[in-house]
Amino acid sequence: MLQLLAADGTYGVPKGYEIYGKIIEGLDEETLKTFYRDMARIRRFDIEATALQRQGQLGLWVPAIGQEGAQIGSGYGVGNKDHIFPSYREHGVALTHGVELMSILKMMRGVNHGGWDPNETRFHHYAIVLATQVLHAVGYAMGVKLDGKVGTGNKEEDLAVISYLGDGATAEGDVSESLLFAAVNESPIVFFIQNNQWAISSHIDTQTKAPLYTRGEGFGVPGMRIDGNDVLACYAATQHHMDNARAGEGPFLLEALTYRIGAHTTSDDPSKYRGDEEVENWKAKDPIKRFEIFLRRQGIKDDFFEEVKVAGDDLAKDIREQTFALENPPLENIFNHVYSDEHPEIDKQRAWLKAYEAQMGDHE
């Protein structure tokens, strides 16, 4: 397993992993601070979103607490032309690619089903049906290759694709088919599995007999396990393997071993299927805490951490206010964009609803 930052905040490069260490050692202080700032920011966001759900402001919340290292690290490892296909818990990755955090809350509130333009953000929509997005990612990567945007050596031109998925999703047939299609097409893609060890109430042992980083081998996709609570390992591994994919070396699989500290969603009750001891054990490996120790050892002072905390509280206040101010979507959104081209039946139903509403008057 690639780990650069131990749970106690000690930095060290294991033998054979020097290439990853070199990536980290080339980072400036501002970048390291950004990693911390965004991990803390997305955790604060997560806590506030959970509170908003509890107050009835969101239909559902999907917490990602404990997975900030995997998400912020890998998110920043993705290049600025690459495309990202998330599952539905990648709020941290979304943050690293300019997706408005409010648009995630809008979706969870039920204002829309998506809410951002993936052509602009390169961060595609959340996929609720497990593993469906992995095939879309492979198809996109096949297209990138057909466009000749792989392995040209021109860094301004080349791009690759990353698909996020969870340990539970690996059991879906679409993942096996994705690995196969990516392998036979030599597609520029990295499969990034966040193994948080729990698929709702089912432990990883329910999903697989062999370690997940070996899942691609039979398909011809090599893999590696990384410490998912180590933001530096996640950053370095993602950057290196996305570089390789862009250079035309074909698909690669990363298994980030992490832990879902919170519930699967706000509808879940983890106390029914796992013990406190296990959770406490993983809290001790927290990605943010260990990175703070590392930064302090690098000479980063209290005022920075204080500033991040204040910014987090401001963010929480801001999203709370914005959530309360969210308006319901217009009724015609039921019918908009069902098709791109005109459709007489949809038009007829749209007109009917409009007339019906007019006849019924204001029923607020």
Closer residue to other proteins (CB): 56 or 328: 328
Contact between 180 and other proteins by CB under 8 A: the answer reads: yes
Q: Which of 41, 43, 225, 260 is catalytic?
A: 260
How many Cβ atoms are within 10 Å of 140's Cβ, its own excluded?
A: 22
Could you tell me the smallest distance in angstroms from the CB atom of residue 135 to other proteins? 3
Contact between 142 and other proteins by CB under 8 A: the answer reads: yes
Could you tell me the smallest distance in angstroms from the CB atom of residue 144 to other proteins? 7
Angle at which helices 287-297 and 29-54 pack, to 10 degrees? 150
Burial of residue 213 (number of CB atoms within 10 Å: 0-12, 13-18, 19+): buried
Angle value at C-alpha 173, between 171 and 175, nearest 5 degrees:
75
- 41 Cβ contact partners less than 8 Å away, ≥ 6 residues apart: 95, 308, 311, 312, 315
Could you tell me the smallest distance in angstroms from the CB atom of residue 334 to other proteins? 10
Closer residue to other proteins (CB): 50 or 178: 178
Residue from 61, 140, 164, 191 binding other proteins (CB under 8 A)? 140
Give the single-character DSSP code of 64. -
Contact between 15 and other proteins by CB under 8 A: the answer reads: no
Interface positions, 91-120, toward other proteins (CB under 8 A): 112-115, 117-119
Residue from 125, 246, 285, 290 binding other proteins (CB under 8 A)? 125
Contact between 78 and other proteins by CB under 8 A: the answer reads: no
Closer residue to other proteins (CB): 145 or 260: 145
Active site residue 260: yes
User: Whole-angstrom Cα distance, residue 333 to residue 330?
Assistant: 6
Contact between 192 and other proteins by CB under 8 A: the answer reads: no
Q: Which stretch binds other proteins (CB under 8 A): 62-70, 266-274, 307-315, 331-339?
A: 331-339
Whose CA is closest to 221, among 245, 247, 257?
A: 245
Closer residue to other proteins (CB): 133 or 197: 133
Q: Edge-to-edge strand order for the sheet containing 83-85?
A: 83-85, 161-166, 189-195, 252-257, 223-227
Q: Is 122 helix (H, G, I), strand (E, B) or coil?
A: coil
Q: Which of 136, 225, 241, 264 is catalytic?
A: 264
Residue from 84, 135, 226, 232 binding other proteins (CB under 8 A)? 135
User: Whole-angstrom Cα distance, residue 50 to residue 66?
Assistant: 14
Interface positions, 158-177, toward other proteins (CB under 8 A): 173-174, 177
Q: Which of 203, 273, 339, 343 is catalytic?
A: 273
Paired with 199 in beta bridges are 202
Could you tell me the smallest distance in angstroms from the CB atom of residue 72 to other proteins? 25
User: Whole-angstrom Cα distance, residue 60 to residue 63?
Assistant: 10
Q: How far is Cα of residue 312 from the mean position of the Cα atoms in its chain?
A: 20
Residues belonging to the active site? 260, 264, 273
- Residues in contact with other proteins by CB under 8 A are 112-115, 117-119, 124-125, 127, 129, 132, 134-144, 146-147, 173-174, 177-178, 180-181, 184, 333, 336-341, 343-346
